[in-house]
Structure 1
């Protein structure tokens, strides 16, 4: 790997919010803040998605970031990044080229990355090579179906400490009956009795959980903290 560490960012290709007729996708601030911080720290960031090509940006996240200078600058200056993502399958067998893989949220990952076999294979590959695996908000949905490297076929998250978008936050967003599953419930189930799901004392507050090379963030407020943890995990290795 070169002196400039590389991060593979995986965006959703899913742009429809269940059967509501409303658009969804990835969440602006959850990519804008990590991208800005990582590139400022000398990282090279590559964007991929299950189908490649344009990755749908959730329009509600643009509205939510209307007063967020970092997100607005990213929106106007870096749009080519998500309009021409590489297909996920093109990165199979290439984990050695990267220091980390990162999954931003938005509701899109709940519908495609949660069950995408190529995404799951990539996560397995990165984890087996002791690379950083990170996700924020609904991004941890990409981790729930991943199997570990052990012979018992246990989940990758079994026995781990994680966080993600909480049931209370989903209910407040009014989408608890729209998503295919509640992320907090699924994470609790997957980590098992030996693991734990952690969350902030208050809804929407920052919460980042670091368990070795596994880094997860609870919500949009946690995106920058996840990026900071990625930098620490890579440079501190």
Structure 2
């Protein structure tokens, strides 16, 4: 049985205080559903533990797919989500995959979290899978390996790009430019040919997805790689 750690945000508002944010639901539900189908052990954790806000944008009819809608309507799942473990509680636990779910909120509580950085560093240096989707890849940008190099240096990867931020109308709200940060650390950013379409990039044990529309493919690729 595989053990998978799904890390989510605790942040519910942009710094401006004008708009709500949180976890982008489908970026958690598809990987959760796929792991459940395999009978794997799933742990949901967040920087502070406890309740996990959901970005209201991810609940809109046009983007809320059936799997996500079913889980959102499941009292058992929502109870599990809102009793997330703290990173402190799970820091010494071994997992086959550590997966960072996205949502703009992660731009606030993922990038500078030193405990998250340590967990990801140890996971990667143990030659175990590290996966992240959309804004969740922001949790990778400041991770340094034992040799002092950034984890993502010279890696092929993807993430929510700056043009997609324009489409999402969040350029003035986000705390930094994720695309620029990825490039500054020496990664090879691979974008979908058409913005806001599915794109998943595999570079060894590092798997990244570009945006919410990559949720389904991301789950499929992670499962495939873990089953090899």
Bin of the TM-score, shorter chain as denominator length: over 0.9
Give the secondary structure class of the aligned counterpart of 2:130.
strand
TM-score, length basis structure 2: 0.95
Native 8 Å contact 2:58 2:64 kept in 1: no
Pick aligned residue for 1:210 from 202, 205, 208: 202
Provide the C-alpha distance between the structure 1 equivalents of 2:130 and 2:207, rounded to a whole number of angstroms: 6
What is the number of equivalent residue pairs in this alignment? 226
Match of 2:26 among 21, 29, 40: 29
Relative to the length of structure 1, the TM-score reads: 0.92
- Flag structure 2 segments of 5+ consecutive residues without an equivalent: none
Shift of 1:21: 2.5
Aligned counterparts of 2:22 and 2:59: Cα–Cα separation in 1: 11
Judge which range, 212-221 or 25-34, deviates more. Answer: 25-34
Task: Give, in angstroms, the shift of residue 217 of structure 1.
Answer: 0.2
Structure-2 change in CA distance of 1:71 and 1:203 (3 Å) = same
| Residues 66 and 72 in structure 1, CA contact (< 8 A), matched pair in contact too | no
Consecutive unaligned residues of structure 1, counting only runs of 5 or more, are none
Shift of 1:128: 1.4
Candidates 68, 84, 88, aligned match of 1:71:
68
Question: Where do residues 147-186 of structure 1 align in structure 2 (5 Å cutoff)?
Answer: 147-150=144-147, 153-186=148-181
RMSD: 1.3
Of residues 115, 134, 138, the one that matches 2:131 is 134
What is the match of residue 91 of structure 2?
92
Q: Distance in 2 between matches of 1:172 and 1:42?
A: 38
